[in-house]
């Protein structure tokens, strides 16, 4: 199993249009068949010192293995998402894990 988790911080976090556009872009990634499970969301309303809630959206994709993840990275839908949405984010942080 290969788990790919990505956090996005918007350039303009106050812009509802930017939030809507990024969320729509993230949703397009679900159609990539290499993804075994997909979770896309915004920060929960939990407030404890150990929780970072400064990001706008996160995604967690589960792949059967690293080869499936690698195929996702070069998939035309993923490349189109990056090309059309990269102007929306200020920062992206990625955590990959294997199990």
What region does 54 belong to: left with phi over 0, alpha with psi -120 to 50, or beta? alpha
- State pTM to two decimals: 0.94
- Predicted local distance difference test score (pLDDT) of residue 94: 98
CB atoms within 10 A of CB 47: 8
- Predicted local distance difference test score (pLDDT) of residue 15: 98
Q: Are 72 and 31 in contact (CB under 8 A)?
A: no
**pLDDT tens digits, 50-74:** 999 999 999 999 999 999 999 999 9
10, containing H or E segment: strand 2-10
What's the chain's average pLDDT? 97
């Amino acid at each position: 199993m290969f788990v790919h988790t990505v956090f996005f911080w918007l350039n303009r976090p106050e812009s509802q249009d930017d939030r809507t556009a990024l969320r729509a872009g993230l949703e397009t990634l679900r159609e990539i068949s290499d993804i075994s499970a997909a979770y896309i969301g915004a920060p929960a309303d939990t407030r404890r010192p150990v929780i970072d809630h400064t990001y706008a959206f996160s995604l967690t994709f589960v792949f059967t293995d690293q080869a499936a993840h690698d195929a996702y990275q070069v998939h035309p839908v993923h490349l189109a998402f990056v090309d059309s949405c990269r102007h929306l984010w200020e920062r992206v942080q990625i955590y990959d894990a294997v199990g």
